[in-house]
Amino acid sequence: MSAHGEVYSAPRLYDLAFSYRDYDREARFLLDLYRARRGQDPRRFLELGAGPARHAIAMATAGLSAVALDLSPEMARYGLDEAKKSGVELEYLTADMVRFELGAPVDLAATMLCSATYILEDQDFVLHLRAVAAALAPGGLYVIELPHPTELDGRPKTKSTWTMSDPTGKLDVEWLDGDGSSAAAARQAPTIARLRFQPQHGEPILIESQAPLRAFSRAEIEDFVATSGRFEVVSVFGALDPQVSLEAEKAWRMVVTLARR
């Protein structure tokens, strides 16, 4: 089973856990980055580590041809079902984000919700970049959302526990390192993901798994990019907002935009 496989085998609960995200706004952010760089709209989009494929579905709704990629077959089935409910076409590949191939190139790719933190080894991150570059059309863009680098020093920028609910029940989420503190407080922290769902009717559901996640410094990412030989760094923001620098007080992420050479 893949890292945190128990959690990713429960796609509906995972989707509920992260439903606080504004996927349409985040899709517009990605589109605006591409337009600012290329002066035109992208035609085809790839979401890596896609899970429920919410960004890919938002892109398909905006009129793009969309592809999602994830290692979890449960997520792939769920994402395809959600795309169908939304009335859009979605191609979903069950594959490893480190080594994969697409049948046709994309103009814009993204790995959101810090999914790239599952890539633990330096050489695998370089292989990942090369695989993404091979999937991109010349001049295409790749956007990576990562934890803010201060989390390497044990200074978390995000909450590690939260609660979500929908008409079916309430979900308590914990995303903690092995000693119960912030999950990104070390370069590679053994991270506990715990979902407790209390349905409106019936017994509670508890899903828990542990796997290492990696935090990155800006310098590390820039080194990986240079080693890959396939990209140049276009921008680094501190949020999914081009007005927030990495050093800004309200910065909470490291959002890196790469252009394929």
The rounded distance, in Å, linking the Cα atoms of 155 and 260 is: 32
What CA–CA distance (Å, rounded) separates 196 from 214? 24
Per-residue model confidence (pLDDT) at position 157? 87
Domain shared by 193 and 97, yes or no? no
- Whether residue 33 is found in the same domain as residue 58: yes
Domain that holds residue 34: 5-150+215-260
Strand order in the sheet with 169-177: 161-166, 169-177, 188-199, 205-214
E strand residue ranges, the chain: 44-48, 65-70, 91-94, 106-111, 136-147, 161-166, 169-177, 188-199, 205-214, 231-237, 253-260
CA-only gyration radius of the chain, Å: 18
In the numeric block, the tokens 């990696």 are attached to: 214
Beta strands 169-177 and 65-70, pairing class: unpaired
SS3 248: coil
Cβ pair 146, 113 in contact under 8 A: no
- 114 with 130, same domain: the answer is yes
| pLDDT tens series, the chain, 261 aa | 468 889 999 999 999 999 999 999 999 999 999 999 999 999 999 999 999 999 999 999 999 999 999 999 999 999 999 999 999 999 999 999 999 999 999 999 999 999 999 999 999 999 999 999 999 999 999 999 999 999 888 788 898 999 999 999 999 999 987 554 544 444 676 889 999 999 999 999 999 999 999 989 999 999 999 999 999 999 999 999 999 999 999 999 999 999 999
**Are 175 and 245 within one domain?**
no
pLDDT of amino acid 152: 84
Q: Name the phi and psi angles at 178, rounded to 5.
A: -60, -25
Q: Verify that 220 and 145 share a domain, yes or no.
A: yes
Q: What integer pLDDT is reported at residue 4 of this predicted model? A: 81
Same-domain status, 137 and 42: yes
Helices (H) and strands (E) in the chain, counts: 7, 11
Q: Domain holding 240: CATH number?
A: 3.40.50.150
Task: Tell me how far apart the alpha carbons of residues 154 and 158 are, in angstroms, rounded to a whole number.
Answer: 12
> Residue 254: what residue type?
M
Number of domains present in the structure of the chain = 2
* Contacts of 90 by beta carbon, 8 Å cutoff, 6+ apart: 53, 56, 57, 60, 66, 67, 68, 79, 80, 83
Q: What pTM was computed for the model?
A: 0.94
Burial class (CB in 10 A: 0-12, 13-18, 19+), 99: exposed
Same domain, 18 and 102: yes
Q: How far is CA 133 from the centre of its chain?
A: 17
Residues 32 and 47 in one domain: yes
Please tell me whether residues 13 and 109 are part of one structural domain. Answer: yes
Handedness of CA 138, 111, 213, 148 (dihedral sign): positive
Q: Is the four-CA dihedral 105, 110, 115, 116 of positive or negative sign?
A: positive
User: What tokens appear for 204 in the block?
Assistant: 């509670």
Two structure tokens written together for 63: 């009129």
In Å, what is the CA distance from 11 to each residue of 8, 72, 80, 207?
A: 6, 9, 12, 11
- Kindly state whether residues 187 and 223 are assigned to the same domain: no
Same domain, 133 and 160: no
Is residue 105 located within the same domain as residue 234?
yes
